[in-house]
Amino acid sequence: MKVTVKDVEHIAGLSRLTIPESEMEKFTEQFNQILNYADILEKIDTEGIEPTPYVLPISNAFREDVPQPGVTHEEALENAPAVYNDGFKVPRVIE
Amino acid sequence: MDLYKLTAHELHDKLVSKEISSVELTENVYSRIDEVEDKVQAYVTLDKENAMAQAAKVDAKIAAGEAIAPLAGIPGAIKDNICTKGLLTTCSSKMLSNVVPIYDAHVIKKLRADDAIFTGKTNMDEFAMGSTTESSYFHKTYNPWNLERVPGGSSGGSAAAIAAGEAIWSLGSDTGGSIRQPASFNGCVGIKPTYGRVSRYGCVAFASSLDQIGPITRDVTDAALVLNTICGKDEHDSTSLPVDVPDFTKALRADVKGLRIGLPKEYYGEGVDPKVKAEIEKAVKTYESLGAEIVDVSLPHTEYAVITYYIIAPAEASANLARYDGVRYGFRAANATSAPEMTRLSRTEGFGPEVRRRIMLGTYVLSSGYYDAYYKKAMQVRTLIRRDFNEAFEKCDMLLTPTSPVVAYPVDGKMDPLSIYMLDVTTIPVNMAGLPGISIPCGFADGMPVGMQLIGKVLDEETVLRAAYTFEQATDFHKAMAPLGGNK
């Protein structure tokens, strides 16, 4: 077992998710199945191999620094679940 | 006349010669949708009103003697992870089930500029994470070749719509095979362009170093036409390549004489259904008879590609999907008493099980103590996978493989996640290396379409298009119509 139920709870917390208790055992089992399979990577010697985060040869993408119209205040609020005056409304942030 | 069965280029000719109108064509496609959509369920949202208005505009242009673009007045379906201003874009997720984008994706802007018509938004695996379109929050989609089987995924709706005659062309997106595999399962043509060819601006992000938008169509010519419209540099996407876009239709020559086609032995191993393999081998014979040179090559790191992908893609997804917090848009859970609780409940209720699994897997491989062992290691193996391709391309001009080791399998197959992941072994390496790959129909096994995949060098879509076109001219597989058989 690479990860226990307790580990999965911790990862869920970091991910801002809750795994229902009824699914926990199966979820942990599937999680372990995938991580166990990842052991095959240990067979490969990657000493000194550069990682590939992106395949492109470009590192920076610049454009002319000219102001352009952006999203309006009204548009930004269009899909908000709750709005108060001109802003996004959320429940209490600090206890 | 059943206009919905025709290709975009055939319909363009009929529009220009005034044999048909765009209104007539668009009506015809919607009556086909009315006829079969309850069986296939390819769509999440239909937009007939705007489509008909757009069709009337194109007809007015034609009547006024104006020149029209190749896709003008021709109805196409858009995968529901591509933002369409004013039209619901859900990613087939409860999380985005009420989101109406305030802007158009780059590809949509370009298609609108060419007066293309959008029938609606197609069903997909939630957040494009899946290979069956079964993880959609709304409903499953069924394969028009046999309604008891899956259409593949994640662009299952976009491919099923083409096979069922519910659109003339469509857009999908491909992170690990999500255009090519459903194209293969539905007897369609589907191309994933070189990474960076098509702007990702407005495509809901899944794994940003792998995602790429591309067309699903009835033939290779239509794929080239859609590519002509959607490719090109975009300032809104920092990974968009600053390269010229060729006229891809110029590559459509029926000629493969002297073309060196590589067969990577790792793609023809034990996991491939013998009936699928037999069809692929016949296709290889066809190419040989047309004058191509067949070369045996090896991509030795293929067996590591799937797990490498299932580390890298979830890692990127866990970062990309962190934005769904229930604050600015999307689903918000009711009854939370604090902001942190609201975010946690909204994400737990808003995401389905597969999305939650991948977010957590990604979070785990990026967490301290595991980053080097999993994420960094996977990125290093990704380098080795790219090197394999570079070495193979020293011996050949393109590669030919099965698109999927199997044909479309039954709905509710009850496979565990890892077994389903393993079936993506033939498509994933292409995304890892950022290469162009096309799937075209090349036969049938158990009454279901078999697709072959042609993989090209970076930015060499033209060679794969030429080879695909040559095969298509020599065969009839792309002309077969899905029977809509089987009991759902």
In chain B, what residues touch A63 (CB-CB under 8 Å)? 235
* CA B113 – CA B110 distance, rounded (Å): 5
Residue B78's pLDDT is 98
Cβ-defined contact of B301 to A41 (cutoff 8 Å): no
CA B115 vs. chain centroid, Å, equals 22
Told to judge if B154 belongs to the known catalytic residues of this protein, a careful annotator would answer yes
Contact partners, residue B239, CB within 8 Å, separation at least 6: A54, A56, A58, A61, B195, B196, B200, B208, B209
Residue A56's pLDDT is 84
Rg (chain B; Cα; Å): 21
CA B33 vs. chain centroid, Å, equals 21
The 3-state DSSP composition of chain A as helix, strand, coil percent (nearest 5) reads 40, 5, 55
- Token readout for B100 is 């109406």
B428: closest CA of chain A, how far (Å): 14
Nearest residue in chain A measured CA to CA from B348: A17
Told to judge if B18 belongs to the known catalytic residues of this protein, a careful annotator would answer no
Backbone angles phi, psi at B354, to 5 degrees: -70, -40
- Domain map of chain B by residue range? 3-261+396-479
Contact partners, residue B18, CB within 8 Å, separation at least 6: B62
B482: closest CA of chain A, how far (Å): 36
Angle CA(B423)–CA(B427)–CA(B432) in degrees, nearest 5? 120
Cβ-defined contact of B304 to A37 (cutoff 8 Å): no
What sign has the CA pseudo-torsion A53, B364, B306, B323? negative
Measured CA distances, B299 to B118, B329, B391, B393, B423 (Å): 40, 44, 8, 10, 17
Cβ-defined contact of A91 to B342 (cutoff 8 Å): yes
pLDDT tens, position by position, A12-53: 999 999 999 998 999 999 899 999 999 999 999 999 999 999
Nearest residue in chain A measured CA to CA from B356: A17
DSSP state for residue B155 in the 8-state scheme: S
Told to judge if B178 belongs to the known catalytic residues of this protein, a careful annotator would answer yes
Q: What is the arithmetic mean of pLDDT over A84-94?
A: 92
Cβ-defined contact of B345 to A37 (cutoff 8 Å): no
State the catalytic residue, choosing from B21, B22, B93, B154: B154
* Structural contact between residues B196 and B242, judged by C-beta atoms closer than 8 angstroms: no
* CA B166 – CA B119 distance, rounded (Å): 9
Of B242, B360, B378, the CB nearest to A11: B360
What CATH code would you report for B3-261+396-479?
3.90.1300.10
Instruction: Categorize the per-residue pLDDT at A60 as very low, low, confident or very high, splitting at 50, 70 and 90.
Output: confident
Cβ-defined contact of A17 to B382 (cutoff 8 Å): no
In chain B, what residues touch A5 (CB-CB under 8 Å)? none
| In the predicted structure, residue A59 carries a pLDDT above the cut 80 | no
- Residue labelled with tokens 């290396």: B433
Cβ-defined contact of A49 to B308 (cutoff 8 Å): no
State the catalytic residue, choosing from B21, B93, B173, B178: B178
Q: Which stretches of B155-240 are DSSP H helices?
A: 156-163, 180-185, 220-230
Strand partners, B100: none
Count Cβ atoms below 10 Å from residue B119 Cβ, excluding itself. 26
Residue B137's pLDDT is 98
Residue B438's pLDDT is 98
* Structural contact between residues B120 and B86, judged by C-beta atoms closer than 8 angstroms: no
Residue B273's pLDDT is 95
End-to-end CA distance of chain B: 28
Residue B368's pLDDT is 85
Of A30, A90, A92, the CB nearest to B357: A30
What's the ipTM?
Answer: 0.95
Among B161, B141, B168, residue whose Cα is nearest residue B73: B168
* CA B190 – CA B262 distance, rounded (Å): 20
Residue B416's pLDDT is 79
Nearest residue in chain B measured CA to CA from A3: B364
Residue A8's pLDDT is 94
* CA B248 – CA B232 distance, rounded (Å): 12
In chain A, what residues touch B377 (CB-CB under 8 Å)? 41, 46
* CA B4 – CA B29 distance, rounded (Å): 5
Residue B423's pLDDT is 92
What sign has the CA pseudo-torsion B252, B250, B246, B6? negative
* Structural contact between residues B359 and B365, judged by C-beta atoms closer than 8 angstroms: no
Cβ-defined contact of A33 to B376 (cutoff 8 Å): no
**Could you say which residues of chain B have pLDDT below 50?**
none
Residue A57's pLDDT is 79
